Chain A
Amino acid sequence: MIRAGSKTLLEVRGLRATVDGVEILKGLDLTVKSGEVHAIMGPNGSGKSTFAKVLAGHTAYQVTAGEVLFEGENLLDMAPEARARAGIFLAFQYPIEIPGVGNSQFLRLAYNTVQAGRDKDELDPLEFDDLVREKMKLLEMNPEFLGRSVNEGFSGGEKKRNEILQMALLEPKLAILDETDSGLDIDALRVVSKGVNRFAGADNAVVLVTHYQRLLNHIVPDYVHVMSSGRIVKTGGSALALELEERGYDWVEAEANSAAVAEGASP
């Protein structure tokens, strides 16, 4: 929700980034304030997922220009784990399977690490078990998933629920959900959306990276941004998502291109 007097969480200015020498982000600007829900949409290859990973500090991407401030601090100087402890959370498009690491061990380790980083109390296994089971109930997850290896043998929907479970436990200030809706059936989409809506509050913000409008029926964004060729080229309200669903992305890209040409032609 857009509120008067809310504070700026994230400020991205002229962000450029490359992977393997190929430039993917080409001057991206975005401001996110607390209490807001943003959706970033756009065609495949427009750089949405790259942007999400760069915010989380993925080591495969090199930032070549621009700045990213998180609560006024230079995010780009921070290691991925420091960002997580500071309150950035990325729900992965393809959550990683980690055979041999028990899910409950992993969740507690992540929780306690982040709690310690924020000078808050850690929980012992029994206390943590109560907490995680309560959160799992909200996401309609079978407690059996605690006893398995992280994401190993989970279905696509189960992996996404496990991501949202981590978000609910770590209570970030800025949650970036990278195509969390992909691979979800209608029931799973409803449950995951419920989890996100319950999480979203006045003191945090959510950035949804998505390809399709259907997620936005469940989680209503305050802003919808369209990415094209590594930049945000159009921003609107939630109605923009419906228009994109109907008309596709071509017209936005055409608009952006002609604007760029006009800009290039001006003295």
Chain B
Amino acid sequence: MTADAIVARGYLESLLGGLANSPAALVSPKLAWLKTLRAEAVERVGVLKVPTPGDEDWRFTDISALAKQSFHPLRRPTSLQAVDIAHFHIEEATTRLVFVDGVHAPQLSSIGADGGGGDDGDDIVGALAAAIATHGATVRAHLGQHAQFRDDLFTALNTAFLHDAAVVIVPRETVVTEPVHLLFVATQPDVASHPRILLVAEAGSEVTLIEDHLTMHEGAYFTNSVAEIVLGANAQVEHVRVQRDSGAAFHIGGCAVSLGRASRYHSVSVALGAKISRLGLEVVQTVEGAQCSLDGLALIGERQLADTHTCIDHAKPNGTSRQLHKAIVDGAAHAVFNGRVRVRLGAQRTDSAQSSRNLLLSAKAQVNTLPQLEILADNVKCTHGATVGQLDSEEIFYLRSRGLSEAAARNLLTYAFGAEVIDRIPVASLRRRLEQTVLERTTNDPAVPGQAAGHP
């Protein structure tokens, strides 16, 4: 056993050790299927190793720093008051589920008119126990069935710790007009949390989900989240994922999406925080005619690492996929993008376009981008492209010739590069807030775009 592996085992044991002490099962022990699911996951955690750069999927992402640190499950919940998180609220969303250090906080959550009642009068949004009580069969049919943990240590870990979850079940033909806000707040250092999300959008339904990971402290912690999103025939889901963890945090996020016939899934993922973050997004078009568009932005600096691994699996014919992933990398930061598009035999008339665009703002910044097309069908239209570059000197000169200082010109162009992705967020107040964040993060000079340079 190598030294790395020993460290890795120690790390896993420290995490698994928490299983026994974790809050007594929040769901009834009668739910044998859930216990079985967890037991299977625990078994896989015992077998799987912490990935190293020796693993193809982790070639550019060295997480040894994560394995060297120890994290424990939450011991005592933080007494967070509603007022403490009021500024994180999103004005369009009156339905909000709040998880503090991974633990559901009903006193901070609220169910708005829209999230409250389906046709059957049951809540559309709730924690796992409530969802099992009202939608037991649906939860059982999907929970743990889409996010595969056999070969994925972090998904296995999350599933091993699966005691609670944010569950959104939108009944057939139901249009949820307000976005549903899932807020995961980190409040304590050294805690490992395993947020879990299940969204089932039944046939013909529509919903917008905001998955929001943020922090109230700048210490180290470990977030290991998994989302499962299922779209029935003709369902439409907008999924906004925002990761603004502390600069010392580790964030491993997984998202498995299953698309039904002629359904439409659109996601915008924005990674701003964490020392090391990884998002694994897998979309499977299980029936004909599904559409997905995946937009992503990583905006990082200093010594941050942000890794985005996506896989769009066109398993059936007539599917459409669009993907735009952008990274803005400053300081000695490192962005990784691996975008796999798989078109299986028989998935004819697939129409897929992928673009990875990367902006390096410093000499030490680094990007690895790897578009991967695997096409087995013969009648398809698939394009992909990747660019890595610096700000365009002609664009800078154009702006300077109109009076903008060089710094203001650079800031504006950097902002614009990121804004293209932010603009695709379908929730106006969140879009404005993130535009402001991007503006602040891309401004290295008092000459803020929007203010006149050189003005007293």
Q: How many residues of B contact A (CB 8 A)?
A: 30
A99 to B418 alpha-carbon distance, docked (Å): 10
With contacts A110-B404, A170-B402 known, what are 10 further pairs, Cβ within 8 A?
A: A81-B403, A81-B404, A84-B400, A85-B403, A106-B402, A109-B408, A109-B412, A113-B453, A115-B452, A122-B455
Query: With A80-B397, A96-B394, A98-B413 known to touch, is A113 a contact of B419 (CB < 8 Å)?
Result: no
A166 and B402 form a contact (CB under 8 A):
yes
Segment at the B interface, from A8-16, A57-65, A240-248, A259-267:
A57-65
Q: Does B398 contact A (CB under 8 A)?
A: yes
Secondary structure call for the B interface: helix
As a 0/1 sequence over residues 391 to 435 of chain B, the CB contacts with chain A under 8 angstroms (1 = contact) are 011110111111111101000110111111001000000000000
A56 and B452 form a contact (CB under 8 A):
no
B219 to chain A minimum Cβ distance, whole angstroms, is: 35
With a cutoff of 8 Å between Cβ atoms, the chain B residues found around residue A5 in the complex are: none
Q: Does A95 contact B (CB under 8 A)?
A: yes
Q: Does B449 contact A (CB under 8 A)?
A: yes
A99 and B420 form a contact (CB under 8 A):
yes
Could you list 28 A-B pairs, sorted by A, with CB under 8 Å? A57-B401, A60-B393, A79-B406, A80-B397, A80-B401, A81-B405, A85-B403, A96-B392, A96-B394, A98-B398, A98-B399, A98-B413, A100-B417, A100-B418, A101-B412, A106-B412, A109-B408, A109-B412, A109-B449, A112-B452, A113-B402, A113-B403, A113-B408, A113-B453, A113-B455, A114-B402, A115-B452, A116-B454
Query: With A99-B420, A113-B408 known to touch, is A56 a contact of B401 (CB < 8 Å)?
Result: yes
A100 and B420 form a contact (CB under 8 A):
yes
Query: With A109-B450, A113-B452 known to touch, is A98 a contact of B400 (CB < 8 Å)?
Result: no
A79 to B400 alpha-carbon distance, docked (Å): 8
Q: Which residues in chain A, 169-228, are within 8 Å of chain B measured between CB atoms?
A: 170
Q: Which residue of A lies closest to B414 (CB)?
A: A100
A110 and B397 form a contact (CB under 8 A):
no
B358 to chain A minimum Cβ distance, whole angstroms, is: 15
Query: With A109-B412, A109-B449 known to touch, is A114 a contact of B403 (CB < 8 Å)?
Result: yes
With a cutoff of 8 Å between Cβ atoms, the chain B residues found around residue A149 in the complex are: 416
A99 and B403 form a contact (CB under 8 A):
no
As a 0/1 sequence over residues 63 to 81 of chain A, the CB contacts with chain B under 8 angstroms (1 = contact) are 0000000000000000111
A84 and B397 form a contact (CB under 8 A):
no
A115 to B280 alpha-carbon distance, docked (Å): 49
B423 to chain A minimum Cβ distance, whole angstroms, is: 8
Residues of A within 8 A of B (CB): 56-60, 79-81, 83-85, 89-90, 92, 95-96, 98-101, 105-106, 109-110, 112-117, 122, 149, 166, 170
With a cutoff of 8 Å between Cβ atoms, the chain A residues found around residue B419 in the complex are: 100
With a cutoff of 8 Å between Cβ atoms, the chain A residues found around residue B408 in the complex are: 109, 113
B177 to chain A minimum Cβ distance, whole angstroms, is: 26
With a cutoff of 8 Å between Cβ atoms, the chain B residues found around residue A113 in the complex are: 402-404, 408, 452-455
A106 to B398 alpha-carbon distance, docked (Å): 11
A95 and B420 form a contact (CB under 8 A):
no
With a cutoff of 8 Å between Cβ atoms, the chain B residues found around residue A90 in the complex are: 401
B415 to chain A minimum Cβ distance, whole angstroms, is: 8
Q: B398 touches which one: A60, A96, A109 (CB < 8 A)?
A: A96
Query: With A96-B395, A100-B419, A115-B452 known to touch, is A110 a contact of B413 (CB < 8 Å)?
Result: no
Q: Which residue of B lies closest to A169 (CB)?
A: B402
Query: With A84-B403, A98-B416, A101-B413 known to touch, is A58 a contact of B397 (CB < 8 Å)?
Result: yes
Q: Which residue of B lies closest to A100 (CB)?
A: B416
B393 and A59 form a contact (CB under 8 A):
yes
B404 and A109 form a contact (CB under 8 A):
yes
Residues of B within 8 A of A (CB): 392-395, 397-406, 408, 412-413, 415-420, 423, 449-450, 452-455
Q: Which residue of A lies closest to B455 (CB)?
A: A116
A122 and B394 form a contact (CB under 8 A):
no
A116 to B392 alpha-carbon distance, docked (Å): 26
Q: Which residue of A lies closest to B456 (CB)?
A: A116
Q: A84 touches which one: B401, B415, B455 (CB < 8 A)?
A: B401
Q: Which residue of A lies closest to B393 (CB)?
A: A59
Most buried by A among B398, B400, B418, B453: B398
With a cutoff of 8 Å between Cβ atoms, the chain A residues found around residue B400 in the complex are: 57, 79-81, 84
Query: With A100-B420, A109-B412 known to touch, is A59 a contact of B403 (CB < 8 Å)?
Result: no
A110 to B419 alpha-carbon distance, docked (Å): 19
B214 to chain A minimum Cβ distance, whole angstroms, is: 25
With a cutoff of 8 Å between Cβ atoms, the chain B residues found around residue A114 in the complex are: 402-403
Query: With A99-B416, A110-B402, A110-B404 known to touch, is A81 a contact of B453 (CB < 8 Å)?
Result: yes
A152 to chain B minimum Cβ distance, whole angstroms, is: 10
A84 and B417 form a contact (CB under 8 A):
no
Q: Which residue of A lies closest to B447 (CB)?
A: A113
B325 to chain A minimum Cβ distance, whole angstroms, is: 15
A92 to chain B minimum Cβ distance, whole angstroms, is: 7
B124 to chain A minimum Cβ distance, whole angstroms, is: 36
A92 and B403 form a contact (CB under 8 A):
no
With a cutoff of 8 Å between Cβ atoms, the chain B residues found around residue A115 in the complex are: 452
Q: Give the 7 A-B residue pairs with the shortest CB-CB distance, closest first.
A: A100-B416, A110-B402, A116-B452, A116-B455, A80-B400, A84-B403, A96-B398
Q: Which residue of B lies closest to A108 (CB)?
A: B450
With a cutoff of 8 Å between Cβ atoms, the chain B residues found around residue A122 in the complex are: 452, 455
B425 to chain A minimum Cβ distance, whole angstroms, is: 14
With a cutoff of 8 Å between Cβ atoms, the chain A residues found around residue B404 in the complex are: 81, 109-110, 113
Q: Which residue of B lies closest to A81 (CB)?
A: B400
A110 to B399 alpha-carbon distance, docked (Å): 8
With a cutoff of 8 Å between Cβ atoms, the chain A residues found around residue B420 in the complex are: 99-100
With a cutoff of 8 Å between Cβ atoms, the chain A residues found around residue B416 in the complex are: 98-101, 149
With a cutoff of 8 Å between Cβ atoms, the chain A residues found around residue B453 in the complex are: 81, 113, 116
B401 to chain A minimum Cβ distance, whole angstroms, is: 5
Q: Which residue of A lies closest to B409 (CB)?
A: A81
Q: B395 touches which one: A57, A59, A83, A98 (CB < 8 A)?
A: A98
A218 to B19 alpha-carbon distance, docked (Å): 83
Q: Which residue of A lies closest to B405 (CB)?
A: A81
B448 to chain A minimum Cβ distance, whole angstroms, is: 10
A242 to B287 alpha-carbon distance, docked (Å): 70
